[in-house]
Amino acid sequence: MKRYSSALVMAAYLIFLLVPIYWLLNMSLKTNAEITSTFSLWPQNFTLRNYEVILTDPSWYMGYVNSIIYVVLNTVISITVALPAAYAFSRYSFMGDKHLFFWLLTNRMAPPAVFALPFFQLYSSVGLFDTHIAVALAHCLFNVPLAVWILEGFMRGVPKEIDETAYIDGYSFPRFFIRIFMPLIASGIGVAAFFCFMFSWVELLLSRTLTAVDAKPIAAIMTRTVSASGMDWGVLAAAGVLTILPGALVIWFVRNYIAKGFALGRV
């Protein structure tokens, strides 16, 4: 009896989650004429034209390329700088460590809206405006603290005796870190990379403010379409579906780690 009610609750919740996504998918497979004239739960005249529009027009599909470039750049930068810092926080106590840790966390809490304008001016003045690296660096604002936080949690779980044994065995610090320590926290690095990818991928305000043409993310290209013509619902829906795909792929690959990352409660 209890099992049935649980299954029922879960089914209801998942349906609630999936119906709006299904509707988007449904719209993306219809022609615009059909969207505005008839109302149906599935496409009457099945068409892939909307996807064709996006995948053949560089001003559309370059948006995906741009997004992926800066998201990957950001993930790499965040993890690279966060690894040694997280090690320091998990192994040593040093002057001001607690204040520093809190200060880092406040950056995760800072509203991007506060930073949008100063970022625009800062990156314009150093000539980085409208480049992928500018967006990647801007997203470090919230991803680096997050990565440090997650990695620190994982590193704390590795006994300190391992470090000491390695040093006695004559390992230098960099060699120990890369050869022994990093494999031990591989799943932690995976979880941190996943969350960096996620938060950089979904962020719009900063990436839109910092780009004009060459590095414009797909999400921003979509907004422009909404405000300009506003009525090309089919293409808009197709673009939306295509932005969901990378996320869905990433989730599928890390599904076994997600629960672990959440278990640390550090998101």
Partner 1 sequence: MEKTVNNKAWFLVLPVLVIVAFSAVIPLMTVVNYAFNDTFGNNQFFWAGFEWFEDTVTSSRMHDALGRQILFSGIILAIEVPLGIFIALNMPKKGFWASFCLVLMALPLLIPFNVVGTIWQIFGRVDIGLLGRTLASLGIDYNYTNDWLDAWITIVVMDVWHWTSLVALLAYAGLQSIPQAYYQAAKIDQASRWAIFRYIELPKMQGVLLIAVLLRFMDSFMIYTEPFVLTGGGPGNSTTFLSIDLVKMAVGQFDLGPAAAFSLMYFLVILLVSWVFYTVMTNMDRENMQ
Under 8 Å between Cβ of 152 and 89: yes
Binding segment toward partner 1, per CB under 8 A, in 43-51, 57-65, 84-92, 178-186: 84-92
Minimum distance, C-beta of residue 170 to partner 1, in the bound complex (Å)? 20
**In the window 51-80, what residues touch partner 1 (CB under 8 A)?**
77, 80
- Based on the number of CB atoms within 10 Å of its own CB, is 38 exposed (0-12), middle (13-18) or buried (19 or more)? exposed
**Options 60, 70, 87, 154; binder of partner 1; rule CB under 8 A:** 87
**Of 62, 141, 182, 184, which one interacts with partner 1 (CB under 8 A)?**
141
Site for partner 1 in 26-45 (CB under 8 A): 27, 35-36, 39, 41
Stretch that binds partner 1, among 4-12, 46-54, 55-63, 183-191 (CB under 8 A): 4-12
Q: How far apart are the first and last CA of the chain?
A: 35
Least Å distance, CB 212 to partner 1, is: 14
| Piece of the chain touching partner 1 by CB under 8 A; list 48-56, 57-65, 183-191, 235-243 | 235-243
Q: Which residues make Cβ contacts (< 8 Å) with residue 239, sequence separation at least 6? A: 54, 60, 218, 221, 222, 225
Q: Which is nearer to partner 1, 16 or 183 (CB)?
A: 16
| 182 binds partner 1, rule: CB under 8 A | no
Separation of alpha carbons 46 and 214, rounded Å: 34
* Least distance in angstroms from the C-beta of 75 to partner 1: 14
Question: Of 70, 10, 44, 17, which is closest to residue 206 (Cα–Cα)?
Answer: 70
Assess contact for 104 and 167: CB atoms under 8 A.
no
Contact 127, 162 (CB under 8 A): no
Site for partner 1 in 115-134 (CB under 8 A): 115-119, 121-122
Residues touching partner 1: how many (CB under 8 A)? 99
The CB-of-58 to partner 1 minimum distance in angstroms stands at 20
Provide the phi-psi class of 96: left if phi over 0, else alpha when psi is between -120 and 50, else beta: left
